[in-house]
Structure formats: C-alpha cells, structure tokens
Amino acid sequence: MKKVIYLLLVVVLIAGLAQLFRSSDDAGPPATVTAKLPAAERVARGAYLAKAGDCMACHTTRGGRQYAGGRALQTPFGNVISPNITPDRATGIGSWSADDFWLALHNGKSRDGRLLYPAFPYTNYTRITRDDADALYAYLQSLPPVSQANLPHDLRFPYNQQFMLAAWRALYFKPAVFREDGKQSLDWNRGAYLVQGLGHCSACHSARNTLGGSSGESLSGGLIPVLGWYAPSLTADAEAGLGGWQPEHIAALLKTGVSPRATVFGPMAEVVRESLQHLSDSDINAMALYLKALPGDGKSSHFERDQGTEATAYLAAGAKLYETHCVDCHGSSGAGLPPGYPPLAGNRALTMEQAVNPIRIVLNGGFAPGTAGNPRPYGMPPFGHVLTDNEVAQVVSYLRSAFGNNAPPVSSNDVNRYRAIPLD
C-alpha cells in the first residue's frame, strides 16, 4: 500500500513539474473587435467588463485605493494577498503588455512566469475572449497609477511552493476557450459565457475537495468555509434551482437583489451590489435564461420528523420565540410581505440540508443589497446578542418545520460553530 502511495506522489510531482516548465504561453487569437474600437470606447467596454467580473472586490482593500490590491483572501491553506493591478510600472501592471495580461487570465501565469494561485479565478477567466481581455487591459491601464508594493502571500508549507501549485494545476486546470453551443440561442450562449467566465459563479457555487479542486461548472452548491456561508446548488430544486422560476423573477433577483420569490443576503448581496446591478438588462436576461435552463438534478428530499415528546417541546420553544421576535414582519402564516419581508413558507434557504445560512441570518441579521432597483432595502436585525445558541437553534428548527417546511432540526453546536465567524 505504501508503494502505491509513493508512486502516486511521484506521478503528481512529475505532472506538476511538467506543468510548471512546459511552454503553453501562446498569445491567443488576435482581437478582432476591440482593436478597431476608439480608445475611449475600448476603455468604457473594459470598465463594464470589470464590473461584470467584480474585479474591484478582490483588488481593493476596505478604505484603500481602487485596484491597488492588498486584500487578504482567506483560503483553507492561508491567505492569498491580492496584487496591485493599477498601471504603476514599479508595483502594478504598468509594464505589462496586452499579451502578458491575456496570459494571466487565460493561463494563470504572471508576467515573470510565476504560477498564480486560483484564488484569482483564472480557472473561469480562461474562457474570456481575447477581445474582452484586451478591453479589460485597456481599462486597467487607464486608471490612475498607485504606488503600493505587493505583499507576500501568507500560505502554509507546502502550499506556498510553486511545484505544489504546478501539481494542483496538472490535476485541476487546463486552459480553455468558451465555445458556443450551436443548438442554443445567442442569448443562452451569452448567458453561459457570463456565468462560466467573467461571472465565475462556480467559484462559490461548486463544492471543493480537500485540495481546493472544484467540480467544474456543475454549480451543484458548496460550503464557503472561510466565510461561513453556503452557496446553494443552482441546479437542485431543493436548493436554488431556478427551473421553476419565471424569467423576470430571476432577472430581478440578479439585478436588484430582491424578487417575489427570494432575497439575496450574505456574500451574494455584495456580488449584486458591486457587480450584477451594473450589467445591462440584456446581459442580465441572458444570464437568467441560461440559469433557468440548467438541467435539474432530479433529487427530492424527504425527512421523517421525530414525533417524540422532547422533539415536540423543542419545536414548541422555537414557536414561542418566533411569536416574540419574528411574527410582526413574517406573519403568523410565514407568508411575509415580499420583497421587503421574504416569505418563510416554502423558502428553500430554510429547507436545504445545509442550515448554515439561516443560522447566520438569525445570528447576524440579513441585509439585502442597496441597488438602483432597490434603493432602500429592508433589513432583518441581528438576534445573536439576545438569543442563546440553544434559542437560535430552536427558532431555526421551528422555521424548518413550520409553514409546510420539512427539514431536519439544528442543534446549539451547529449554531455555536458560526457565532464567532464575522459577517463578511
């Protein structure tokens, strides 16, 4: 058995070294559209694409200069520190060419040949067209240069070694291009391009293994451990599958953060506020069309509830807490008053197997994003300071059992696991 393990390690090491040293740094197909645009239009196009990719979210620290980097991106392996991507020649990307920038997006390599960590989602950005890469480059080069030195990553050994990153890439990454599906409409293909590429939705909505490898574009949902939120499956009807939604409701959720069916909270609220609300209606509708058309997983959940005295009393305690703290907004029937007060009856955020999100919302409050389409969002106050772990568990368990909902109860240990995690 040990010989097999050692053999596998050798294979991975050789694959990693091959990935590290092999030459695959082609400049890609020539830009056919961007090069013909006037400079101002090229920059404007790049600014729009930067919003679509939410680039500022990672490359700007809170209160810092835009795109100057320095934000610590937490991972299970340590912190990856985002770089300065302003056009400063000494500390930013001012000395980079358009080819250098393309290789970073498409191949995950820096100008000096270093392999980039996939906290920078080049596993998605590899699908970005050369035209869009050149427009992004033009926009970033138009920004005011900021002289701010890049900080080293704070990663544990051996994850801070390039040969390990090369091995990871050999297992989980292959440069690709987006290929349109000729059987689908132009709008569907545009939505697929945005979801799979610039939008990098799978970066959160796909599960990751112990090495950080994901299940590709499955969008089957995944826990974001360092943030303490669960990004639900976009295919499972029991989670956030959108097959049964009306397209206009999907578009409203993406564009404004609220719809008659749901409201976004947590990390997704930031995505809507900083990125999606700025997209054109045609691009939002294309994303909605693509997401609605994703094939469902066909799975259904059935939970046999414990009818014993202790379990019944536990839910009764949760019902009392609901009457005290929740009924004024969400109503005695759990119907709420959407979009301000989301319905709890049939709310899939409550009934998913993963109860992380409702626990976080009860503890920390829930806040929809402020957007042009929802400029004065309603918010739910936090209850973590007034309810014990056991009381939060009781009220969440009640919500998962009431109003036609039927999901397993949660325990005080489940709540305590997330009480100390910051809101963002």
pLDDT band at 423 (very low <50, low <70, confident <90, very high): low
- Both tokens of 388, joined, read 């014990």
Of residues 219 and 392, which shows the higher confidence score? Answer: 392
Give the N- to C-terminal CA distance of the chain in Å, as an integer. 44
The CATH number, out of the four listed (3.30.420.40, 3.40.50.1370, 1.10.760.10, 1.10.8.100), of the domain defined by the range 186-293: 1.10.760.10
- Residue 58, both tokens: 């990672």
Domain spans of the chain?
2-172, 186-293, 309-419
- Provide mean pLDDT across the span 236-257: 92
The structure tokens 């826990």 sit at: 223
Q: Average pLDDT in the 175-189 region?
A: 94
Would the pLDDT of 50 be above 90?
Answer: yes
In this prediction, residues 35-40 reach a mean pLDDT of 89
* C-alpha dihedral (303, 307, 310, 316), degrees to nearest 10: 80
Cβ proximity of 419 and 386 under 8 Å: no
Highest averaged pLDDT of the listed ranges 190-199, 260-269, 349-358, 414-423? 190-199
CATH architecture of 309-419: Orthogonal Bundle (1.10)
- Give the separation between CA 163 and CA 169, rounded to whole angstroms: 10
Mean pLDDT to the nearest integer, 366-385: 92
Residue 67 pLDDT > 50, yes or no?
yes
**Burial of 210 (C-beta count, 10 Å sphere; 0-12/13-18/19+):** exposed
Predicted confidence (pLDDT) at residue 355 exceeds the cutoff of 60: yes
Report CA 368 to chain centroid distance, whole Å.
Answer: 16
Fold agreement (186-293, 309-419): yes
Among residues 296, 400, 402, which one has the least CA distance to residue 358?
400
pLDDT at 1: 47
Per-residue confidence band for 277, with pLDDT thresholds at 50, 70 and 90:
very high
Average pLDDT over every residue of 196-223: 87
pLDDT at 44 over 60: yes
pLDDT at residue 5 greater than cutoff 50: no
Q: What is the mean pLDDT of the chain?
A: 90
This prediction has a pTM of 0.88
State how far the Cα of 358 lies from the Cα of 263, in Å rounded to an integer.
13
Statement: residue 105 has pLDDT above 80: yes
pLDDT in the model for residue 4: 41
What's the confidence (pLDDT) of residue 215?
Answer: 64
Measured between alpha carbons, how far is 258 from 171 in angstroms, rounded to an integer?
Answer: 39
Q: Are 27 and 99 in contact (CB under 8 A)?
A: yes
